[in-house]
Amino acid sequence: DAKTTQPNSMESNEEEPVHLPCNHSTISGTDYIHWYRQLPSQGPEYVIHGLTSNVNNRMASLAIAEDRKSSTLILHRATLRDAAVYYCILRANFGNEKLTFGTGTRLTIIP
Partner 1 sequence: DAGVIQSPRHEVTEMGQEVTLRCKPISGHDYLFWYRQTMMRGLELLIYFNNNVPIDDSGMPEDRFSAKMPNASFSTLKIQPSEPRDSAVYFCASSLRGNSNQPQHFGDGTRLSIL
Interface contacts to partner 1, rule CB under 8 A = 31-32, 34, 41-46, 49, 91-103
Q: Which is nearer to partner 1, 53 or 111 (CB)?
A: 53
Half-sphere exposure of 55 (CA within 13 A, CB side): 19
SS3 of 13-45: the string is ECCCCEEEEEECCCCCCCEEEEEEEECCCCCCE
Q: Which is nearer to partner 1, 43 or 111 (CB)?
A: 43
For residue 67, what are the CA distances in angstroms to 10, 41, 44, 111? Answer: 25, 36, 28, 36
Q: Which is nearer to partner 1, 11 or 45 (CB)?
A: 45
Shortest distance, position 98 Cβ to partner 1, whole Å: 5
Shortest distance, position 91 Cβ to partner 1, whole Å: 4
Measured in residues, the chain has a length of: 111
Shortest distance, position 95 Cβ to partner 1, whole Å: 8
